Structure 1
């Protein structure tokens, strides 16, 4: 007999189906239709007997039903198991996130590992594990788990495009492993030196105006200082990389004068020393103090830096100054590669030279220390050499080239250095100027901006911090820089390796640089040369002893593969070997000076300035003994002769110092010494 439910054939007399277990009904002459006859009629009366299924068909039907039932059961089992696994996976992820938030890194790691065991094709546990390792500064583990996850989720590296970003098909989700990898790389390369705060609306650096020590061509970059301008609403101050204010937020504006920041107060303050109300002040970095702006820069001397330009060869506007007797000498050769404009005529002094140079309708070219053009006049704008690179502008985009004119950072970026210059209230003629350029590279790094996204590269042309990590980035000084994160400003310290190896390159090339410099200077008729050690490194400084007061001396050092030169008085350099402290003393006609210097980041920095002499050197007064009566001051502060000498002794130990002019040799000998070092 067959089961009416599943069609399975059962033995006669069975009460239940052996396949599905349903109750079996026997045909006993009684029909559910009534009358006691089977449905279809009584055979004796011509009715048809009930149809009986053929045994073969029933077996096939039974088999098919069994297969279907088995499939349903198996599907149910798998559905339940899938649900259970999904539930467990989600529970592990939730647990791991809670552990991570509670900084229970061991438990978080274990929970994420369990989630990976359940479903190794999901991104979340790998990314979560990376966060666990990042939180513990274990960037190596973070990088490994990201690589493992990317391989598990996406398969081979072929899934990636050449740009390093994961390609995706239509409808496919973005690969977040690349972003996490950038995050790991970034965080392994910096730590917070000063946590972000809302102290500032903006922090930036202003243009270098030190025309005493550099020609204008070397000043198309920010000031040589780690102290930045800080702005909060309409108040300005100065701030160091330690996050401490060097000048309080109480000034209406800040500009530069020579190597100093010049500041104007909102309200005048009475100064007892000068017995008057003061609004103008300057910042003395060496003392970390703000002082009244009285005699800030002292005497400019008789050596003119001028502006280099190109007119059938390299010229300097200082030529005119010397011809007219305004100056005794000028800088005749650049100390490194410089940007120059072309002029159709020689500068004649009819217009202030900087204004004249700015008005030249010429593009920029790069020029070497011998006056040879490295490039044609192809750049719309150009910065000065800094940390081995020059910022250049073409077709409204910025990039960076090296001293050979080779592109190191593609010319595809926007201006990164934007601010309005400040005009002091007493200046009724000048107008504020909008600066839109690019910061000079510093410390082997350069901040870049494209479409509002900031990044940091090194000077070898490699990205160091990925775009979008910070909202803004400022230049690096002493391995630190200001950055903006979540609307707040803080300081990061770079901890990763800088692949530019600028210091190594610079020190390895010093011999060639000095050789070229001496050969170029031979025509100037210097009286002698020597190699001396001023700072503590193993690369000597090159000293050029002038043949006259008008020519003066030079001291040179090497930084970023270029020579940095400082003009000095004739024969007045004394120094304490390898102590990074030297003094330039000189003067004439009852006007004298003592200037103390250090080498900082490859630049010569005047740390103190002493001056003494007659108040009127055309009418020198004398005391009862016939000695001239001199006025004495250090850094603009007047004092007695005794106080001057005491201050001098505090700054510079003359007893330990030696004179650089002693022991100089001729050009041929110094070239041999350079080669033999």
Structure 2
């Protein structure tokens, strides 16, 4: 991890906390569209009933929510963050508005289940109003608003200085679990982490550093002869190298994962083969809790699909790398359960293409 990125991430975790792999997505945010919003005698915005199939949502953007239980972030299922006039709110995936569009930054979630980071960059509501909204979320089964706290997150790297490591072969004993935090620390890989994050982990190569009395931190990622900063390490001890990869995201339990090549994103399969060439733009996860700095990642697949953006137009990619909805739409949002497509008059909920 680059030094600047590490500093930004650790600073951000004072406000909130930051993964997953190809096994099972952490149960950070589960769909609750069947639940009714709790009633409250208040002038605050209340949850509206779930919209009918033909409802049109008048939002500028609808984005996947980033869950900061690890780095890279984990995509949220069951909810979206949406914007109007440059300000952001929270809605269920079925279109039910839960938090109004008043936050300067897209809504994200810390590592705690349904703990929403909303309004860190300035919020016109009073703390009493925010608390009331948080109580409404809890009553309707939609979590709560994060009050701000310290925390940590998980990431993984391959220790080039591991004692006994064969320099000419991959060695599972060189895989390290880096628990980020203030302070952070480095541990050997643990079996339960494979269960939590999956059988194929995005990693980077690094030299383990640390001084006496201080925790050991991974140093700058090491670029190999193929120009790759990130690659994948599999539980069976094999590795997947994607030449030129500048960032690698999660497979979760899916068939494909997004990989950044220069400024664009490609999708690779579980053999490390590129099945959708590097042509897609980032679609989710800003790098700031204080403002919208623009998306930084392409979408991970969720239940077999990912919303993709190419040349400013949106589409839907499936598990084989095919655009089942060509990149010709004004907007596409998908978080694993509900598909929304932006047309001239607004966002329409749509069935998945066969």
Q: TM-score under structure 2 normalisation? A: 0.63
Q: Does the alignment pair 1:337 with 2:200? A: yes
Shift of 1:284: 5.6
Distance 1:388 1:295, change over 3 A: same
**CA distance in 1 between partners of 2:89 and 2:263 (Å):** 32
Q: Of Structure 1 and Structure 2, which has the larger fraction of its residues in helix? A: 1
Q: Does the alignment pair 1:364 with 2:230? A: yes
3-state SS of 2:300 partner: coil
Distance 1:484 1:366, change over 3 A: same
Shift of 1:328: 9.6
Q: Of Structure 1 and Structure 2, which has the larger fraction of its residues in strand? A: 2
Match of 2:210 among 348, 358, 364: 348
Aligned residues: 272
**CA distance in 2 between partners of 1:311 and 1:473 (Å):** 39
User: Which one is further off, 309-318 or 440-449?
Assistant: 309-318
Match of 2:247 in 1: 381
Q: Does the alignment pair 1:485 with 2:333? A: no
Bigger relative CO (Cα 8 Å, ≥ 6 apart):
2
**CA distance in 2 between partners of 1:414 and 1:365 (Å):** 19
Match of 1:464 among 286, 307, 324: 324
Match of 2:75 in 1: 222
Give 1:24-63 correspondences, 5 Å limit. none
**CA distance in 2 between partners of 1:251 and 1:452 (Å):** 24
Query: Contact conserved, 1:455 with 1:465, CA < 8 A, in 2?
Result: yes
Q: Does the alignment pair 1:245 with 2:97? A: yes
**CA distance in 2 between partners of 1:305 and 1:456 (Å):** 30
1:177-211 deviations in whole A, cap 9, x for unaligned? xxxxxxxxxxxxxxx934334x2111112322124
Match of 1:473 in 2: 332
Match of 2:259 in 1: 392
1:345-378 deviations in whole A, cap 9, x for unaligned? 224376885xx56x42531112101443222663
Query: Contact conserved, 1:255 with 1:421, CA < 8 A, in 2?
Result: no
**CA distance in 2 between partners of 1:336 and 1:290 (Å):** 29
Distance 1:406 1:330, change over 3 A: closer
Match of 1:256 in 2: 109
Query: Contact conserved, 1:308 with 1:317, CA < 8 A, in 2?
Result: yes
Query: Contact conserved, 1:455 with 1:473, CA < 8 A, in 2?
Result: yes
Distance 1:268 1:416, change over 3 A: same
Give 1:261-660 correspondences, 5 Å limit. 261-264=116-119, 265-270=123-128, 287-289=140-142, 291=144, 293=146, 306-312=154-160, 313=171, 314-318=174-178, 331=190, 334=194, 335-343=198-206, 345-348=207-210, 353=217, 356=218, 359-362=220-223, 363-375=229-241, 378-386=244-252, 387-409=254-276, 411-418=277-284, 420-424=286-290, 434-468=294-328, 470-478=329-337, 480-486=338-344, 488-494=346-352, 496-497=353-354
Query: Contact conserved, 2:339 with 2:349, CA < 8 A, in 1?
Result: yes
Query: Contact conserved, 2:202 with 2:250, CA < 8 A, in 1?
Result: yes
Shift of 1:463: 3.1
Query: Contact conserved, 2:175 with 2:189, CA < 8 A, in 1?
Result: no
Match of 1:205 among 64, 72, 75: 64
Query: Contact conserved, 1:418 with 1:437, CA < 8 A, in 2?
Result: yes
Query: Contact conserved, 1:194 with 1:243, CA < 8 A, in 2?
Result: no
3-state SS of 1:380 partner: strand
Distance 1:435 1:467, change over 3 A: closer
**CA distance in 2 between partners of 1:328 and 1:352 (Å):** 9
Distance 1:319 1:491, change over 3 A: closer
**CA distance in 2 between partners of 1:325 and 1:380 (Å):** 24
Distance 1:320 1:220, change over 3 A: closer
**CA distance in 1 between partners of 2:74 and 2:145 (Å):** 26
**CA distance in 2 between partners of 1:283 and 1:360 (Å):** 44
- Gap regions ≥5 residues in structure 1: 1-191, 272-276, 425-430, 498-677
**CA distance in 2 between partners of 1:382 and 1:234 (Å):** 29
- RMSD (Å), alpha carbons: 3.9
Shift of 1:390: 0.8
3-state SS of 2:118 partner: strand
3-state SS of 1:435 partner: coil
**CA distance in 1 between partners of 2:243 and 2:205 (Å):** 8
